Amino acid sequence: MSILVVGSIALDTVETPFGQAEEALGGAAVYFSYAASFFGHVRLVGVVGSDFPEEHLELLKNRDIDLAGLERADGATFRWKGRYDYDLNEAHTLDTQLNVFETFAPAIPEKFRDSDFVFLANIQPGLQLQVARQVKAPRIVACDTMNFWIEGAYDQLRETLKSVDILVINDAEARELAREPSLVKAARQILKWGPRTLVVKRGEYGVLMFSDHSVFSAPAYPLEDVYDPTGAGDTFAGGFMGYLSTQEEINEMAIRQAIIFGSTLASFNVEDFSLNRMKTLQMQDILERFAEFKLLSHFEEVEDAGL
């Protein structure tokens, strides 16, 4: 099954308590693609500038990621500069240079329009909707967004959500989108606006999934140190959509397992800067950590006779 992703490709400069990375490969579409490529065939739509290092493209091509939708524009690649302190849940943005990403108008190649799974990474909601409409008969459309669009393009975002099956955002975004401090109430509200499933990322606290009839709570993997949280959310989404693309039926259990695969991929990604840890990751590592997640959250039912 084919997985289409539209989103940013970036050169990130990141500082954390454990070190730093200069102009390293990043961007939502990159993290997503790499993670999803463990499970299926990925098609990437994005833009880079004329200064984008060829080696980064080679890395993606070697994962069998189709770059037919990659635009090379005149100018500089999108750059983000940020810092994390010991509270690694919060990124402090030091500088953002949109560059060629500022006027990005995603064009979906004809051969990508039969994609089965579509992930609309965090871009302008109107563009997200345009992309969704260009795909003929997607099985699943998932999307991400951020506070910037919730505040600045609320009506467009609400319109886009009507075409989305699964919304993948963090807890602060869910509360802000629904204008409701209770996360559970916010989730109930958002599920009335289009998505059948809401996946709420909570960083070191794991993931909560809401659907009409159930709630699922996934733990985070208890790492000694998070070296660099950049890209964790998009890596999660890549593992999540990647696993779903292997499933004949997208039912409740498939979505729960996909959340654990997403969490697994994200837990590896934060062990090093940029995509460094991902480069050496093997499917065997992923399956072993999936099994660890099972142990981490397992408890047996009780015989109630004695109580």
* 78 vs 219: CA distance, rounded Å: 33
Contact 268, 290 (CB under 8 A): no
Options 58, 136, 181, 280; binder of a second copy; rule CB under 8 A: 181
Q: Can you give the C-alpha Rg of the chain in angstroms? A: 19
Q: Tell me the per-residue interface mask from 54 to 93 with a second copy, x by CB under 8 A, - otherwise.
A: --------------------------------x-------
Neighbours of 53 (CB within 10 A): 13
Q: Could you say whether residue 253 binds a second copy (CB under 8 A)?
A: yes
Q: Could you say whether residue 111 binds a second copy (CB under 8 A)?
A: no
**Does residue 92 come out as left (phi exceeding 0), alpha (psi in the -120 to 50 range) or beta?**
beta
| Footprint on residues 208-227 left by a second copy (CB under 8 A) | 208, 214-220, 222-225
CB closer to a second copy, 72 vs 256: 256
- Chain position carrying tokens 């993931």: 207
Adjacency order of strands within the sheet including 140-143: 66-72, 41-48, 2-6, 117-120, 140-143, 166-170, 197-201, 207-211, 215-218
CB of 217 to a second copy, least distance (A): 3
CB of 202 to a second copy, least distance (A): 7
By CB under 8 A, name the binding residues for a second copy. 17, 38-39, 86, 181-185, 202, 204-206, 208, 214-220, 222-225, 246, 253, 256-257, 259-260, 283, 286-287, 290-291, 294-302, 304, 306-307
